[in-house]
Structure formats: structure tokens, C-alpha cells
A and B are shown apart, each in its own frame.
Chain A
Amino acid sequence: MSRPEDTLAADVHYDDTEARKYTTSSRIQNIQASMTQRALELLDLKFPSLILDVGCGSGLSGEILSQVPPEEGGPHVWVGMDISASMLDVALQRDVEGDLLLADIGQGVPFRPGTFDAAISISAIQWLCNAESSETSPAGRLSRFFNGLYSSLKRGGRAVCQFYPKNDVQKQMITSAAVKAGFGAGLLEDDPETKNVKLYLVLTVGGNATGSKDIADVVDGMDGVDVLDNRKKGEKGGKGEIKKGSKAWIIKKKEQMERKGKIVKATSKFTGRKRRVQF
């Protein structure tokens, strides 16, 4: 698959032609909708919320938020940020309900602290791995984004970012930037090792206020999540001589992870899916 992220700036790639092509493709509409549904499920919002859509594009993800029925805790109100004027233009033509900001998330998130109940980002943040100019570095842009996102969320809030890393280096770079900003972080992979693999970074904002949750509790309530907490809680797991990938190996790994304070959980309606626990 070609990766425009590797060669172009996002606002150059998503010009008028590409923005229209992207938005009118029913294949893309379906994929973005189902990933947004998955993100919503992970957010587990109980009542109508104020949500930030990071890299909202033409609103394919955001409009799902507006459509959540009251029985499922909606509808939500959202604000979208995107760097591509062409994508936002298509959003306007489609008359989306969210408010739109022409903004570069690598420059930060311009909302006062504790603004949002939650945030989603669907297929956008991998773009931050490529510096848009010589004055900025990917690390600097990632850190400004995650620091801004962290502060813009209310305590106890969550963010779910589905993204397409080019490789493990990018995956690591993004995850560690989130953790450095203060988030409790976990990675969830749907359909691993298939060409439809989808990676979700699940972020929680802790805090000491009552009602705030530790990532362990948060994950407890989530369906089908194999989440790894990046905090270290003491002892390292012993070396195993067991064949990698075998059932015994998996059980051993899970024990190791539990000992490290990581969360191992895999029972839900998504259990039928192939999934991989990551380290």
C-alpha cells in the first residue's frame, strides 16, 4: 500500500481532488465508520459528551458521533481539528454538525484545560511522524500534540487514537510520546497479522479527583482489550525456555505481564477475532 504520509505534507496530499475522492469512496466511508464505532465502544461514554475529533477531515468520523442515539448515551457534540482546508471544505459541503478548526495538531491543542470529555482520532496521528518543515521535529510535534491533548481533556477523560504506523519505530515513537505527556496508555490491535490490522492507542487521563480511574479499572470495563500499561511495577519476568507462540508461552507471558502490573484481558464479542498481545 502506498503511504502518502511518507512523502507529502498532509495539507498538500489532501487537496480538493483527493479530499473529494477520499470522502465519496464508499469503501473508505465504511472503514472509517467502523473504526469510529470501535473507538466509541472503547470510550464507553454514558451520556452526551463534548468530544474532540483530531484530524477530523471531511467529517466521516465526526458524523458518527452526532448519530449516537440517546439509548446509547448520545448524541455527542464534537469539535474537529484538521490541517487540510480542502478536507474541511468537503465537511462544510456535507453540512456536518461539529465545529471545525483549521489547525495543525503538531502545534498543540488550543482549548482550555479540562474542556473535553473525550477525544477520538481516526487515521490521522501517523502524519505527525513526518516533520512538516525544517524548523520542527517529529518528536517535538508529537510532544506538543500529546501535551495539548492531555491538558484539553477533563480528569478521568479518555482518548482513542486509531493510527497507521509505518513500522515499529513509529508505533513506539507515538506511544512513548503519549506516555511522556502523562497518559495511561494501552495498545489494542484488531485483526493482527492480516491486511486489515487496526491499531488503537487507548489513553486515559488519571488524576486525583474523586471518580477518576486508574487505567486498570478503565480497562476492566472495556470489551475485548489487551491493554498494556507502560508503567513498570517492579520485578521483571523470568526467562522462558518455552516455544514462542505456544499456549504455554502465551500463558507464561500473560503471567509475566500481570506481575508487571499490565492488564491482560480478552473476553468479549470481539473474542472471535485474531488478536495479538504486544510488548
Chain B
Amino acid sequence: MKVLTLNFLTCAVKACKTTNNSFPLHPKDAELVHDEIEINRDLLVNVLPRIDWTALRTTSTELGFPTLPEQPPTAEDLQQDEKMLKELHALLLETQMMEGKLVCGHCGHEYAVREGIANFLLPSHLV
């Protein structure tokens, strides 16, 4: 599960749909791997405006990475600043959560992650 995906996943429990605390989910006991993949600049430029930067800073800190700058890079930065592009790529697309749990900050539900696959199946009373 890429950090990119963690920036979009929310708690699936019905009661959590309307609160802000159900995003981002908080990684717990996370085992990470770094999986090298080719840089896709146009993809990053495309998704950048949709990244919740505050949530990304939270996730990144919770995963044990150095604190991200307060402000997100701009599309221009990504076009011009090769280093910044690489760092963002490494964090969002190359860093994968393989094992652990994703915990909802509102209801406390824990979604297990095994071999990189998050289990979002819910018992029917939570749907």
C-alpha cells in the first residue's frame, strides 16, 4: 500500500462518514519497504492538487520520516526542482506499507494490512 493511497483512504464505517477525524487513517506497527519505480512526473503534477498536505505531513511523521515542509511544492517546483520531484516520488509512490494496521481516529476501527493489502471488509452492523 503506497503512501499515496494512504492520503486518500478513509474509514469505511458508516458513522465515520461525516466526521473529519476519520481521515487520515493512522498507521500502527507499520512495516515499510522501499520499492523502486520509475518517476512519473506528469502523474505527480496531476495528483498534487488533490494531496491533502496536512494529512501527508501527519502520515509521514507517524511513519517515522523527517517532518515535511509546511507548504506543499507547486506544480512549477515539480517541473524545475529535480530533487524535490524525486523526494515526493520516493515518499508517495515508492514507500509501501506491507504489514501493520490502519487505525481510525474517530471510531478506533483497525484495518489490518497484510502483504500490502488492506482489509476493508466490515461486519454488516458497521456498514
Contact = CB atoms under 8 A, between A and B. Distances in A.
Interface of A: 47-50, 70, 75-77, 79, 81, 83, 88, 92, 97, 99-104, 107-108, 110-112, 114-115, 117, 133, 135-136, 144, 154
Given A75-B40, A112-B8, A50 B47 contact: yes
Interface in B32-87: 37, 40, 42-43, 46-47, 50, 52
Contacts of A92: 115-117
B127 A101 contact: no
B124 A136 contact: yes
Given A77-B4, A107-B12, A102 B46 contact: no
B52 A101 contact: no
Contact of A110 (B9, B52, B117): B9
Kindly list the 7 A-B residue pairs having the minimum CB-CB distance in the complex, ordered from nearest: A48-B43, A103-B120, A110-B12, A115-B8, A102-B119, A99-B5, A100-B117
Contacts of B122: 104, 107
Interface residues of B, number: 29
A108 B52 CA distance: 21
Contact of A114 (B23, B50, B115, B121): B50
B118 interface: yes
A103 B112 CA distance: 12
27 contacts: A48-B42, A50-B43, A50-B46, A50-B47, A50-B50, A76-B43, A77-B4, A81-B120, A92-B116, A92-B117, A99-B5, A100-B1, A100-B118, A107-B121, A110-B10, A110-B11, A110-B12, A110-B120, A112-B8, A112-B9, A112-B10, A112-B52, A115-B50, A117-B46, A135-B124, A136-B127, A154-B50
A102 B117 contact: yes
A79 B93 CA distance: 12
B2 interface: yes
A9 B52 CA distance: 37
Contacts of B42: 47-48, 70
Given A48-B42, A77-B93, A110-B9, A100 B127 contact: no
A30 B70 CA distance: 48
Given A103-B12, A136-B124, A144-B127, A112 B118 contact: no
A92 B115 CA distance: 8
Contacts of A50: 4, 43, 46-47, 50
A50 B5 CA distance: 10
A81 B120 CA distance: 9
A75 B43 CA distance: 8
A99 B46 contact: no
A100 B50 contact: no
A48 B43 CA distance: 5
Contacts of A77: 4, 40, 43, 93
B110 to A, nearest CB: 14
Contact of B40 (A48, A81, A83, A100): A48
A59 to B, nearest CB: 12
Contacts of B9: 110-112
B43 A49 contact: yes
A154 B50 CA distance: 9
User: Which of A75, A107, A136 has the most chain B CB atoms inside 10 A of its CB?
Assistant: A107
A168 B124 CA distance: 29
Contacts of A108: 12, 127
Nearest to B126: A107
Contacts of A111: 8-10
